[in-house]
């Protein structure tokens, strides 16, 4: 079913503010989808000195090391399969140098679809989020309406 809108225009041909608000508020808003919380993040690190790329898993809450960096994922969430693919993780990255203690380099959300939106800025290392996933070795939980039902 389509709706026809009668839009009031000013004599100059521009929309009135009330008309724009009426159109925007009458359009259906999709309900926000629930994200799936995963216990681990799949990260990719680049050592710019050696040009070595490494993929590593970072369980939520557990620090992992990449070179002189200590990386801790606080939260990792992804969209359900029926929505556009997107993963987001809240990551804290510290640099650990001998005799200097630790220095916080990054604290914020990383997104798979936009790695440059919120990236680690470091002279030697790049770190990107690839995906949120179940921790290796852990069984995948059933999801959806078929959970707990037997196949026939």
Question: pTM for this structure?
Answer: 0.67
- Give the angle subtended at the CA of 141 by the CAs of 34 and 54, to the nearest 5°: 85
The pLDDT of residue 25 is above 50 = no
- What's residue 139's pLDDT? 56
- What's residue 59's pLDDT? 96
What's the pLDDT tens digit per position in 54-95? Answer: 999 999 999 999 999 999 999 999 999 899 999 999 999 999
Mean pLDDT of 13-26: 42
pLDDT, the chain, mean: 78
Mean pLDDT of 9-34: 45
Of residues 89 and 149, the one with the higher pLDDT is 89
The pLDDT of residue 111 is above 50 = yes
- What's residue 27's pLDDT? 37
Mean pLDDT of 26-34: 50
Task: Among 20-34, 84-98, 133-147, name the one with the lowest average pLDDT.
Answer: 20-34
Mean pLDDT of 85-110: 93
Pick the closest to residue 125 from 42, 45, 20 (CA basis). 45
């Amino acid at each position: 079913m389509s709706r026809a809108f009668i839009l009031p225009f000013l004599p100059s041909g521009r929309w009135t503010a009330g008309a724009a608000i009426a159109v925007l508020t009458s359009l259906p808003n999709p309900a926000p989808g629930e994200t799936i919380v995963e216990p681990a993040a799949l990260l990719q690190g680049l050592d710019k000195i050696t040009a070595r790329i490494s993929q590593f898993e970072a369980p939520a809450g557990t620090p992992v090391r990449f070179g002189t960096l200590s990386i801790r994922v606080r939260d990792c969430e992804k969209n359900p399969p029926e929505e556009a693919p997107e993963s987001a993780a809240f990551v804290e990255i510290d640099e650990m140098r001998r005799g200097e203690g630790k220095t916080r380099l990054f604290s914020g959300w990383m997104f798979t679809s936009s790695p440059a939106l919120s990236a680690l800025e470091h002279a030697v290392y790049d770190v990107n989020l690839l995906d949120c996933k179940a921790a290796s070795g852990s069984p995948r939980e059933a999801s959806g309406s078929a959970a707990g039902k037997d196949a026939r």
